Amino acid sequence: MSPLSTAGLTMFGLGYMPSLAIGVGYLVIIYPFQYLISENNPEPALLWLMVPAVGPFFGARTEILRGEHGWQAFYVGLGVVQSVGLLLWATALFDDRDPPPTPAPRAGLHLGIANGGPALSITW
């Protein structure tokens, strides 16, 4: 794995793990209580966090975050980190540079000693 690929996956992971933890935490801890008090519509801003790369951008545009500039910046920041990480990883994945070619052996005449006597070898 190339260093660029490793950096991209690390950046994506660091951006996506908080999003996933917040989204799953909401579904596991908070949503059951909302359902009990008959608010059975889940909050779309938190559900958008679980969609990689594009979800935070859509979540920042939901109605509940209108006017909440700090939270909107948080969502957009997560989306940027995830998107840049995926872009770096994809760039490394589709990098089609060939490894440097190995030099071809040169033609020549070699004199030496083999099996106790003189030897002559010719390479083309």
**Where are the domains positioned within the chain?**
3-108
Of residues 31 and 120, the one with the higher pLDDT is: 31
pLDDT at 43: 83
Element holding 58 (H helix, E strand): helix 55-60
CB atoms < 10 A from the CB of 43, how many? 16
- Indicate the pLDDT class of residue 73, thresholds 50, 70 and 90: very high
Of residues 7 and 111, the one with the higher pLDDT is: 7
Query: If you average pLDDT over residues 104-116, what whole number do you get?
Result: 70
What separation, in Å, do the N-terminal and C-terminal C-alpha atoms of the chain show?
A: 37
- Indicate the pLDDT class of residue 120, thresholds 50, 70 and 90: low
pLDDT at 96: 63
89 near 5, Cβ under 8 Å?
Answer: yes
Of residues 96 and 34, the one with the higher pLDDT is: 34
pLDDT at 31: 87
pLDDT at 77: 93
Q: CB-side exposure of 90: number of CA atoms within 13 Å?
A: 7
- What residues contact residue 101 under an 8 Å CB cut-off, 6+ apart? none
